[in-house]
Amino acid sequence: MSHKTKVAVIGLGSMGFGMANCCLAAGLETFGYDVNKDAEERFRALGGASAPQSEVLPTLDAALIVVLNAAQTEAVLFGENGIVPHMAKGAVVISSATVSPDFARDMESRCAAFGVHYLDAPISGGSLKASSGDLTIMASGSKEAFAKAAPVLDAISAKIFDLGESAGPGSAMKATNQLLAGVHIVSMAEALTFGMTQGISPETFLEVISQSAGTSWMLENRAPHIVDGDYTPRSTVNIWPKDLGIVLDIAKDAKFSAPITAAAMQQYLAAAGMGLGLEDDAAVAKVYARNAGLTLPESDKE
């Protein structure tokens, strides 16, 4: 009788819920846990397996951790009700939060003390791709960690980069990607509002620049939010002080001068200081608009 992979997804937010569903759709026996019991209930209603965590943990092949940051990751793995001490030897922890490479190495080593594999596996792609199983995973870890995680990775991702045989490079690549993604959003906002001071409408900016050498993945993804005046959060302003904070912390440790990232960070902090932390990250344009006395497009919906 072939073994059915058993996975627990811990963290059923906008990313984790979609990823848990993808595991279900791939035929994995999938448990979903969250501090929000409503989310757990919704996941069970969709076919999620049901059992107390204490009974499930020793039987798992994999635990997929989809929480916000390093502190939450550490709490889930080794906190008061930490899962790792209860997992079977040879099982794997797949850790997807954006964390520092040093933190990832520390978690790998502490998991190893319990005979549990650790895959440093940050994700990229946003909640839509999480729902459709089309994430990009920037992963590193032992051959055993990759092998044990394979059914879960296959269920949730369209592209897996194998970046090395231990934890660290996965998180390093994610931090590098976030540096650029965070900078490109602010740069788009700076250029769009600069154009407005010269009489270029946000619509014309988007039409022309998206077809020119000044374009970026983030510009094409986020500038439409400003054109539409729609700041419904797909990814919030608050993500960036966290993620660029990780980048700048790593950079400081490496004595690496990162002036563009540092300047971008200030604009996100100004946006958060304006009370926009929970809006879509394209709202960083409001910092520029306020400073320059510009009026951004408003949504038709209101």
- Where along the sequence are the contacts to a second copy (CB under 8 A)? 101, 124-126, 136, 138, 159, 161, 163-164, 168-169, 172-173, 175-181, 183-184, 186-188, 190-191, 193-195, 197-200, 204-205, 207-209, 211-219, 221, 247, 250-251, 254-264, 266-267, 288, 291-292
DSSP 18-57: HHHHHHHHTT-EEEEE-SSHHHHHHHHHTT-B---HHHHG
252: annotated active-site residue:
no
Q: Around Cβ 234, how many Cβ atoms within 10 Å?
A: 16
Q: How far apart are CA 244 and CA 266, in angstroms?
A: 10
Backbone phi, then psi, for 123, in 5-degree steps? -115, 155
Q: Are the beta carbons of 21 and 13 closer than 8 angstroms? A: no
The two tokens of residue 151 are 């059914």
DSSP 149-210: HHHHHHHHEEEEEE--SSSSHHHHHHHHHHHHHHHHHHHHHHHHHHHHHTT--HHHHHHHHT
- Smallest distance from a second copy to CB 7, Å: 25
Task: Specify the residue, 113 or 213, whose C-beta has the smaller distance to a second copy.
Answer: 213
Task: Specify the residue, 81 or 211, whose C-beta has the smaller distance to a second copy.
Answer: 211
The two tokens of residue 292 are 């320059």
Q: How far apart are CA 241 and CA 254, in angstroms?
A: 19
Q: How far apart are CA 84 and CA 57, in angstroms?
A: 8
Q: Which candidate in 6, 129, 148, 174 is catalytic?
A: 174
CA dist 18 to 9, 131, 132, 264, Å?
A: 10, 4, 7, 30
Catalytic annotation, residues: 174
